Structure 1
Amino acid sequence: MTVSPLPYPLRLTGDGVVLREWRWEDLDDLVALLDEPDIARWTLRPSPFDVEAGLAYLRRALQGRVNGSRIQLAITADGGKPLGEVLLFDVRADAHEAELGYLVGLPFRRRGLASAALSLLTTFSVDSLRLRRLLLRIDRGNSASTSVARRCGYRPAADPVIVQQAGPYGPVHLDTWEFVEGRPGPHDDRRKNVAARRYGRR
């Protein structure tokens, strides 16, 4: 089945965050965000992450946005300085599912930014893109990320563990977490209320 291009440009606002497109002038902030050991450990980004890596990253992000193959947005408080990133990719239209990911820079953690951004993009993916199953691949040692997933209504899936051998800290073991539309969860009412306020539905 052909995948319809994902919407571009896109700006999502809610839960105290603004998700916006990456800009070329974000280069210095992007390098500062991704040149950090925990980011390399959990996301397999190049380490050290320098200006050259940042330029390549922004080129790929822009290409993916323009051709509609992915959603890749900077997490901000007010549309300005990037504090992290949230993305949606690998859309499988026949299964109505896609994969999501997120990261927050070290100075900006423990503020609820990852949860807010993931919740916002999850709601958009279900309500506007009509996706029914959303996936996260999380290293089983990344307890902070699994906490974010749980808060946003994701649960461990039955998918087999994914082992990646090329991690800078040794093999990476990724567990799959899933959000299934229509499955009740502890934050289901909150998600619906947020969606109603954001999109004008009651």
Structure 2
Amino acid sequence: MAQWMAKADPTKDFFIDMITRDIGLDECIFDLLDNSIDGASRHSKQDKRENLAGYFADILLGETDFEIKDNCGGMSLIDAKDYAFHFGRRSDAPKDAENSIGLYGIGMKRAIFKIGKKIKIRSATGAAPEEAFEADIDVAAWAAKKEWEFQLDQIDPKGFVGTEISVKELRKATSSEFSDQIFVNKLRKDVGKYYSFFCSKGLK
């Protein structure tokens, strides 16, 4: 009896649509902010500090651009290559910090794909020059490739320690919400409410 294999690989366009369909833009921003806070918590523990004083996460958004920038310790190159850009948590992924709140493995990618089409991620830990990298992601070009990898390029950190994520060519719905003052005001209020504990520990 003859047997054949039917291909069941998902297209990237379908995959992107599925992981972004049921999440709001405010939740996307919270996912990214969670990652910043997790970084600050890990970094402060390494320095044997009890608070988050000195750490910040800045969120800038508008009709054409989005950016989140922090000084919360950055992402190690090993984590970036092996885990952070992977879709879903790998079985060998390191355990997050005890009080981790981020969705390590899906939150960052889901958020940036929901927000826009041209993405730049820069990160540096300050541990060594080779720990600094950036990734330029053109979502349409990436979706057209067979490979699922993201290219990471070494950069000169120039004293920068932390992570910057900038998104341009916002999706139409994203641009509309980000230019709506009602959305912005609610987001500001929700950040203050949901992250009051971390702000009380010194995070700005």
Structure of higher RCO (CA pairs closer than 8 Å, 6+ residues apart) = 2
TM-score scaled by structure 1?
A: 0.26
TM-score scaled by structure 2?
A: 0.25
Greater strand share, structure number = 1
Q: Which has the larger radius of gyration?
A: 2
